[in-house]
Structure 1
Amino acid sequence: MNELKVIGRERIGHIEFTGIEGGFGKDKKAMLVKDIAMIHGKTVKTINQAINMNRKRFKDGIDIIDLKQVNQIDLFTEMGFTAAEWGNANNVYMLSERGYAKLLKILDDNKAWDLYDELVDNYFNMRAAVKQNDLSLVASKRLEIMEVNAKTRKANLLYKLAMATKSESSSQTMLALAARELTGEMTIPVLKQKEYSAGEAAKKLGISSGQKVGKIANKLGIKAEQPGQNEYGRWTNSKSRYSDKEVPQWVYFDKGVQAIKAELKEAS
């Protein structure tokens, strides 16, 4: 185990706790369960019970360290323990960032995750910047992490909405937006079924041109809103015939082709 070092009282917003480095690696920050319990409004006993009931999920030296098993006990007063508290405790757990994340999966409440985001943004990921005493780097790093976390939360919300909606086209649109938040690209989930371009649909139906297929599709209103898809087909990007640019193109599923066929039959 790397040498432990108490770096003093840390303050993140209204949260104040004991800052600790080492144990899990050089300059890696850690948190005492005592402080985690205080931050989340729970007792140390409750947090310890949650850990002990899932102890096999926490890897020693990676996720968790029981300080009662460590010889370097001269730091207990610096960590905020009285001699009685230290002596009477069966376990004095310390968690890494990874261990803290595992604990939150067990606690599983929204407030816990909001607090975790704040601590990751402003404590666990501030190691290098603070060590270099570079305030501009601290601000830049904090902004970068906050932006990533915000995008992840937004993508997660879009995914939940996509799963909840009964509209397939709306669902696919929200999934595409979620993908854009995470990757920067609008990725459309593709249903695994045969697809036809307007020209291919025209040939299959014996129609003179794909343009006529498109006009009938527009009349029937079977095209989903861009960039989504529905039971009749989906939007995709294809290279323009007249330039190097990609343009949106509606491709038809079998049900879309059948809808065009039914309209032609009714009109004849």
Structure 2
Amino acid sequence: MKELITKPATLDSREVAEMVGKRHSDLLRDIETYIQYLENAKLRSQDFFLESTYKAEGNNKTYKRYNVTKKGCEFIAHKLTGQKGAIFTARYINKFHEMEQQLSAPLQQLSPQLQLLINMELEQKKLKADIQETKKELQDMRDVITLDTTSWRTDARNIIVKIAQKLGGFGYIKEVNTEIYTLLDKRMGTNLKQRLTNKRRRMADEGVCKSRRDKLNYLDVIADDKKLIEGYVAITKEMAIKYGVA
């Protein structure tokens, strides 16, 4: 009974790779990148991807694979565009629907008393999940509250990643950054683009190599001005509240 309840419905990453038209090795690389993003943002990667192994026919060697949860499939779907994304979404929804039907069929064959016990355990698990979610929300609030002008770059990055994830995936990071920089320019009466150009010119005059100058970004400009740091931190906190990650 415990296995029936606790085992999550998942798809084999090899099957997912076939569904999205990718080599399995390429999908594994993508998944491991997603896991790194999630863990950097203090999100549970196990809710999306569960590491596992399989043995290849013929040579009997063991290789890595992942069990991809429904959340994980949703995550992958967000990275696809157009017809490819739509087809994959339809396929994985059908797969999980079939699995849900298969899991519910044995439950209907059990006695009413056993069904009641199973439903009670499911409710307890749901309650536990709700408590964990509440704890996570409280931690997110602490992360925002403790964001200050000392470790501002790392802390702000984590919040921006969480906002992007809330919007639908890491592809939204650039969009979130653009919104923050636009608000900062408007509120502080500055021009980050011009400041970045000026900083690169000054470094060129000082003999700094071009490759190093090209790596400069708006955060380097903000770091030069205490008031801009304070403004950036304040706006990032506001964005966290606006998008519900605080």
TM-score using structure 1 length? 0.31
Query: Which structure has the greater CA radius of gyration?
Result: 1
Higher RCO (CA < 8 A, seq sep 6+) = 2
Question: Whose strand proportion is higher, 1 or 2?
Answer: 1
TM-score (norm 2): 0.34
Higher share in helix: 2
